[in-house]
């Protein structure tokens, strides 16, 4: 398959913005959806719409079968041992909060430690702060260097027998840094700590095998994986999930309810209270089918080309500084331009059809570290082209002329 054929699968990519062709470079915020995903959602509402796990009627059984088939698809996609280790959530944020609250309630005591990194998204910081405050536990932070890489030498000092959980992202949404999660997991396990990997920015760029990496908990959002918003996955090892108390109470998560005592359902239902986003999860299944069809070889080859070309071309702009120059990087480029506020650039190049994100990218501590208010971020997906990089550069040069 070539990129032109792939682009034809994404209806939104033919849109005009202010009379110009859309150049969508905000894939870190959310990815666009292929026709196959949009059609799968419409087909569900056209033919099977009903509630799941609770009806003997045909529609309910068909919807249940389709929904549960996605669980197996996700299991295979991330290499999990069992399909009941896959919990459907609303997204990454929901998954982190689930583990923070549930694990925290059961296992955290005064003086225990949680370790995160200096390049976490707010959704992998704030839930830990909240539970640490409640339990009088301590939040520790793995520092980074000016390239935006974790300072690995500090890990042995920070992850100790006091550490109960280490929560780090696989890929930074702001810097594009690919973190050495295998090493972090090894050190954490040597200290009897469990590890949560925030894979929000990695599932769409790189294959993940949770068993090979020995990951305890993994969270990601469907919407960054070409699937609908309001969908996500928490993977947890069976024994760890069985050990945790439920996060929310309600329908579907119970075995038996009486006013005296309620017993909880088995995995995965224990963690899926209430009617889930059935259509969204079916869309997630279609997105995984789509990625499997394209294949990570093509995805990585195209994204590498985009990263290398865009890095080289951006570097030619006077006064432009790339924030995040790690050796191991994915196709996310944050940058600042001397004397110009990122917001002004973002607003002007939007007039030329270019969608980038500007601001702190929900990583304020990272902005503090680099002593900047925010960045302009171009985040590429495999459906982007080198011609779109040229359009970005042209737009930036025009914006600079207007602002100077
Ligand atoms: N973790 C990382 C690494 C992220 O990049 C994001 C979203 C989240 C967690 C939260 O995901 P959610 O789907 O629950 O909101 N990152 C971005 C971004 O970079 N621009 O917009 C959202």
Structure tokens at 54: 């609770």
Q: What is residue 179's predicted lDDT score, i.e. its pLDDT?
A: 98
pLDDT digits (tens, 9 = 90+) for 139-181: 999 999 999 999 999 999 999 999 999 999 999 999 999 999 9
Average pLDDT over residues 213-220: 99
User: From the alpha carbon of 93, which atom of ligand 1 is closest?
Assistant: 14
pLDDT digits (tens, 9 = 90+) for 269-313: 999 999 999 999 999 999 999 999 999 999 999 999 999 999 999
How many Å lie between the centroid of ligand 1 and the Cα of residue 366? Answer: 14
In which band, very low, low, confident or very high, does the pLDDT at 404 lie, cut at 50, 70 and 90?
A: confident
pLDDT of 116 above 90:
yes
Q: What is residue 54's predicted lDDT score, i.e. its pLDDT?
A: 80
Residue with tokens 């940058």: 335
pLDDT digits (tens, 9 = 90+) for 343-368: 999 999 999 999 999 999 999 999 99
Nearest CA, atom 17, ligand 1: 29
User: In percent, how much of the chain has pLDDT > 90?
Assistant: 99
In b/e form, how buried is each residue of 278-292, taking b as 16+ CB within 10 angstroms?
bbbbbbbbbbbbbbe
The CA distances from residue 332 to 9, 221, 256, 325, in Å, are 23, 17, 48, 10
Name all domains of the chain by residue range, CATH numbers in brackets: 3-30+295-403 (3.90.1150.10), 38-292 (3.40.640.10)
CA-to-CA distance for 85 and 170, rounded, in angstroms?
20
CA-to-CA distance for 155 and 274, rounded, in angstroms?
40
How many Å lie between the centroid of ligand 1 and the Cα of residue 225? Answer: 12
Question: How much of the chain is in helix, strand and coil states, percent to nearest 5?
Answer: 45, 20, 35
pTM of the model: 0.98
User: From the alpha carbon of 221, which atom of ligand 1 is closest?
Assistant: 13
Q: What is residue 11's predicted lDDT score, i.e. its pLDDT?
A: 98
Choose the residue to mutate in 30, 96, 200 for probing ligand 1, maximizing ligand atoms within 8 Å of C-beta: 200
- For residues 375 and 174, the answer to whether their CB atoms sit within 8 Å is yes
HSE-up of 185 (CA within 13 Å, CB side)?
Answer: 19
Nearest CA, atom 5, ligand 1: 173
User: From the alpha carbon of 26, which atom of ligand 1 is closest?
Assistant: 20
User: Any idea which residues carry the catalytic annotation?
Assistant: 362
Q: How many CB atoms lie within 10 A of CB 17?
A: 15
R_g of the chain, CA atoms, integer Å: 22
How many Å lie between the centroid of ligand 1 and the Cα of residue 29? Answer: 6
Q: What is residue 250's predicted lDDT score, i.e. its pLDDT?
A: 95
Q: Which of 121, 74, 71, 130 has its CA nearest to residue 100?
A: 130
In degrees and rounded to multiples of 5, residue 27 shows phi and psi of -70, -20
User: From the alpha carbon of 94, which atom of ligand 1 is closest?
Assistant: 14
Q: Which of 155, 122, 172, 168 has its CA nearest to residue 324?
A: 172
| Consecutive H or E run containing 243 | helix 238-243
The CA distances from residue 201 to 48, 174, 276, in Å, are 32, 10, 23
Burial environment of residue 92 by CB neighbours within 10 A (0 to 12, 13 to 18, 19 or more):
buried
Cis peptide bond N-terminal to 268, omega within 30: yes
Question: Using a 6 Å CB cutoff, which residues line ligand 1?
Answer: 28-29, 91-93, 121, 123-124, 169, 173, 198, 200-201, 221, 223, 357, 361-362
- For residues 51 and 275, the answer to whether their CB atoms sit within 8 Å is yes
CA-to-CA distance for 161 and 141, rounded, in angstroms?
16
By DSSP bridging, strand 232-236 and strand 86-89 are antiparallel
Average pLDDT over residues 3-11: 97
Nearest CA, atom 22, ligand 1: 29
Q: Which of 235, 261, 264 has its CA nearest to residue 248?
A: 264
DSSP lists the bridge partners of residue 257 as 262
């Amino acid at each position: 398959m070539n990129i032109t054929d792939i682009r034809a699968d994404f209806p939104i990519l033919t849109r005009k913005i202010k009379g110009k062709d859309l150049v969508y470079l905000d894939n870190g915020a959310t990815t666009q959806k292929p026709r196959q995903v949009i059609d799968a959602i419409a087909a569900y509402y056209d033919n099977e719409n009903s509630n799941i796990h609770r009806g003997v009627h045909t529609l309910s059984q068909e919807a249940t079968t389709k929904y549960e088939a996605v669980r197996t698809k996700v299991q295979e996609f991330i290499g999990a041992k069992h399909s009941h280790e896959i919990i459907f959530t609303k997204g990454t944020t929901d998954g982190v909060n689930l583990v923070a609250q549930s694990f925290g309630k059961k296992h955290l005591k005064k003086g225990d430690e949680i370790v995160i990194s200096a390049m976490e998204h707010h959704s992998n910081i704030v839930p830990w702060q909240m539970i640490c405050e409640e339990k009088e536990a301590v939040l520790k932070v793995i520092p980074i260097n000016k390239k935006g890489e974790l300072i690995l030498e500090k890990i042995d000092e920070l992850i100790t027998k006091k550490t109960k959980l280490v929560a780090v992202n696989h890929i930074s949404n702001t810097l594009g840094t690919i973190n050495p999660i295998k090493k972090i997991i090894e050190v954490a396990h040597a200290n009897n700590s469990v590890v949560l990997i925030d894979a929000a920015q990695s599932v769409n760029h790189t294959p993940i095998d949770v068993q090979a990496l020995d990951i305890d908990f993994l969270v990601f959002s469907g919407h960054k994986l070409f699937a609908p918003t309001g969908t996500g996955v928490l993977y947890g090892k069976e024994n760890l999930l069985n050990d945790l108390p439920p996060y929310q109470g309600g329908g579907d998560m119970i075995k038996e309810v009486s006013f005296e005592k309620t017993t909880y359902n088995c995995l995965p239902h224990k963690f899926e209270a209430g009617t889930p986003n059935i259509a969204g999860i079916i869309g997630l299944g279609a997105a995984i089918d789509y990625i499997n069809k394209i294949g990570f070889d093509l995805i990585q080859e195209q994204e590498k080309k985009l990263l290398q070309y865009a890095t080289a071309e951006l570097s030619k702009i006077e006064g432009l500084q790339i924030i995040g120059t790690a050796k191991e990087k994915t196709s996310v480029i944050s940058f600042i331009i001397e004397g110009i506020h990122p917001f002004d650039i973002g607003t002007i190049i939007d007039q030329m059809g270019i969608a980038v994100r500007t601001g702190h990218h929900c990583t304020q501590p990272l902005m503090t570290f680099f002593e900047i208010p925010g960045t302009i971020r171009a985040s590429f997906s495999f459906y982007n082209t080198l011609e779109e990089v040229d359009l970005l550069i042209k737009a930036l040069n025009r914006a600079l002329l207007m602002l100077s």
